[in-house]
Amino acid sequence: MNYEIKEFDKFRYVEEGEGEPLVLLHGLFGALSNFKGIIDYFRHHNKVVVPILPLLDMDILHTSVNGVARFVHQFLEAMDYRNVHLLGNSLGGHVALVVALKHPERIKSLILTGSSGLFENGMGDSYPKRRDYEYVRKKTELTFYDPKLATKELVDEVYSITNNRMKAIKIVALAKSAIRNNLSEELHKIKHPTLLVWGKNDIITPPFVAREFNRLIPNSELHFVDKCGHAPMMEVPDEFNAILHKFLKKLNQPATVS
């Protein structure tokens, strides 16, 4: 389905459904299409919100994980979303963590999948062969367990981005910012219930990264998905949605009195 892009102040976003906000943050090469499976399923249960992140449109001084987190916080404030379930993939997960650490008051839970913030084999750290279409195609395929999911449309989009000089500079800036912004010393401060959904075959943020997030975030639970890479919500949407729905329903169950 096509989604209406709404505008408010400087923000552009998709908002579908009613209920507690489920806010989705994409990664460095991500887009609205990454979340089609989540939007189509959860708009019947939640207010699903996807802000259009200005990853490659910010001025170079603010092109960083903290710069994007500031934008997301401003968006949540402007829209006055409360009890937010904040979901991020890859760099989007990293941004979600920073928002939760700096502005915990509006967040009800965190959902991380293939998140950076501890360690990542960066896709955007350098593009020595960025004008080589085959090189870009192979790099894009690394996102998935099944390389067929790296469609020509997706590869063309990445190729177009990396061949724009200013966009390429900003990709490198964001990737380096993610590497520098290691959150290992801060994750113990996160008190929100946190769901970790990870592909067992993730090459970019391998399974040991998920286990470390699980160890460092006090109230977290970890689910591995077999035959799946860096973007479970794209590669195995039904399984991802089932895990997420169970997590969200559990959060809304009344506490039992013993």
Distance CA 95, CA 125 (A): 17
DSSP string covering 118-162: S----SSS--TTTT-HHHHHHHHHTT-SSGGGS-HHHHHHHHHHH
Looking at residue 224, its pLDDT comes to 98
**pTM of the complete model:** 0.93
Looking at residue 121, its pLDDT comes to 79
Mean pLDDT by runs of 10 across the 258 residues of the chain is 90 97 93 93 98 91 94 98 97 97 98 95 54 86 93 90 86 90 97 98 96 98 97 97 98 68
Alpha carbon 177 to its chain centroid, in Å, reads: 16
pLDDT tens sequence across 61-79:
889 999 999 999 999 999 9
pLDDT tens sequence across 31-63:
888 999 999 999 999 999 999 999 988 988 889
Distance CA 134, CA 155 (A): 9
Looking at residue 124, its pLDDT comes to 47
Looking at residue 172, its pLDDT comes to 86
Beta strands 6-8; 11-16: pairing state: antiparallel
Looking at residue 128, its pLDDT comes to 47
Tokens, residue 212: 């470390």
Structural domains in the chain, CATH included, are: 6-120+182-250 (3.40.50.1820)
Tokens 């799946």 -> residue: 228
Looking at residue 122, its pLDDT comes to 60
Distance CA 177, CA 171 (A): 10
Looking at residue 207, its pLDDT comes to 97
Distance CA 78, CA 141 (A): 37
Looking at residue 132, its pLDDT comes to 83
Distance CA 23, CA 163 (A): 30
Q: Cα torsion at 171, 176, 181, 182 (round to 10°)?
A: 120
Tokens 């904040």 -> residue: 86
Looking at residue 125, its pLDDT comes to 47
